[in-house]
Structure formats: structure tokens, C-alpha cells
Amino acid sequence: MRKRGLPLAGLFFFLSASILAHAPSSFPGKVPGQDQPERTKFYALRIVFEKEVQNAKDSLGAPDGRYAEILSSGQLVMLMENILLPSRISGYGENPVCVDSGSVVGKGETDFGLEGRFTWQDTQGEQRHEWIRLGPTMTGFCISPPPSAICSFKDNSGVDFVRITNPGSKSLFVDAVIGYGVEIDQVPELTAAAIIDLD
């Protein structure tokens, strides 16, 4: 098990404070991945929970111009095809840059809640879960591990479920949720226990 050092923990706390100050989230100001090298992409695989959503399955898979409509006060929870890994930090000093872990393709209501269920194993080998905000960037979102996981999670720990909430008065349209990064060989099985843990 590889442990994360305190300097890395401090950097994540600093970064989290700066990017989450703008929560709730919004759609990127640029096309996802623009001005960035081509990266492996994966998508939402399965709908786990929906409330006040029309055509929920249109949010699955690659962007195709078909949209799930999340009505006012609606919520959509999706299982990702692979694990969304914590964001890497590029650069040091006063202006560290968070490399996107993913992005949301959509339109309509621009103020919405965007969260991920961060899953990891603690030092005793117990699997743990915690819902965390996904920090918006100009091109997508970044993932910072929760404080309780920073020094105790194994490689390939990260976000398995993404939750999108529409607290606004207008509809939110979601075409796709895109993940970037290293592929995981095995998609987590959706079990009854996992569904119960979502709340």
C-alpha cells in the first residue's frame, strides 16, 4: 500500500479550497479537452438512481446529441464505466494547475450540483465511500480525495458514481459524463449494498 505524504495532502487541501469556492458547478467554458493532449476517454455506463428525470439513459455513453432532461429539483446518479482517478497537479508554487479527471457535456441550467462517490480502502483494508464535490474548471472537473482518504488509499481508488443535481428553476440537459485517464480492467459490480450506500 502506497501512502501519500503530508506535502501532497496540503496541496490537495489548497487546491480543493480554491476550485470548490465556485461550487455549484457549471458547464465548461470550452470544449472538453480543447488545448490538451488526446487522452483515453470513458463514459457513464449505467443509471443507478433518477428523480424528476426524463430520458435518463440518453446521458449514457459517448456524446451523441441526445440529452437526459433533469427537471427542477431532479437528480441523476450514474455508474461510470471505469474509475475516475484523483486529478494530477501540474506545476508548483503559487499557481498549481489541476488536470481534469472528467467533464460533463450538456446545456440548459448552468448552476447544478456535481458530486462523485469516492471509494477507497483504509489502512485496515475496509472499503470506504464518501460523496465529495467535483471541482469545476474551465474545461471539466477535478477530483480531490476527501481528507480522510488522502493518506490511506491505494492506487486505483477514486470516483465510481457521479451524482448530478438540479436545484435551479430551469431544466438541465445532460448528454454525457466523460472520464479521462488510465483504464481500470474491471468495472465495479453494482450490488444491492452499493445502492444502499448511495445515500
Residue 194: what are its φ and ψ, rounded to 5°?
-65, -40
List the Cα angle 83/84/88 in 5-degree steps.
135
Q: Taking residues 110-130, report their average pLDDT.
A: 87
pTM exceeding the 0.85 threshold for the entire prediction: no
The 3-class secondary structure across the chain, one letter per residue, is CCCCCHHHHHHHHHHHHHHHHHCCECCCCCCCCCCCCCCCEEEEEEEEEEEEEECHHHHCCCCCCCCEEEEEEEEEEEEEEEEECCCCEECCCCCCEECCCEEEEEEECCCEEEEEEEEEECCCCCEEEEEEECEECCCCEECCCCCCCCCCCCCCCEEEEEEEECCCCCCEEEEEEEEECCCCCCCCCCCHHHHHHCC
**What residues does 75 pair with on adjacent strands?**
51, 165
Q: What is the pLDDT of residues 82-91, one digit of tens each?
A: 999 888 776 6
Alpha-carbon distance 183 to 88, whole Å? 15
Is residue 143 within 8 Å of 87, Cβ to Cβ? yes
Q: What is the pLDDT of residues 159-178, one digit of tens each?
A: 999 999 999 999 999 999 99
Residue 2 confidence class, pLDDT cut points 50, 70, 90: very low
Alpha-carbon distance 84 to 160, whole Å? 6
pLDDT attached to residue 150: 63
Residue 184 has pLDDT above 60, yes or no: no
Residue 20 confidence class, pLDDT cut points 50, 70, 90: very low
Q: What is the pLDDT of residues 60-78, one digit of tens each?
A: 999 999 999 999 999 999 9
pLDDT attached to residue 187: 38
pLDDT attached to residue 93: 63
pLDDT attached to residue 199: 47
Residue 104 has pLDDT above 90, yes or no: yes
Q: What is the mean pLDDT of the chain?
A: 76
Listed by start position, the domains of the chain span: 6-197
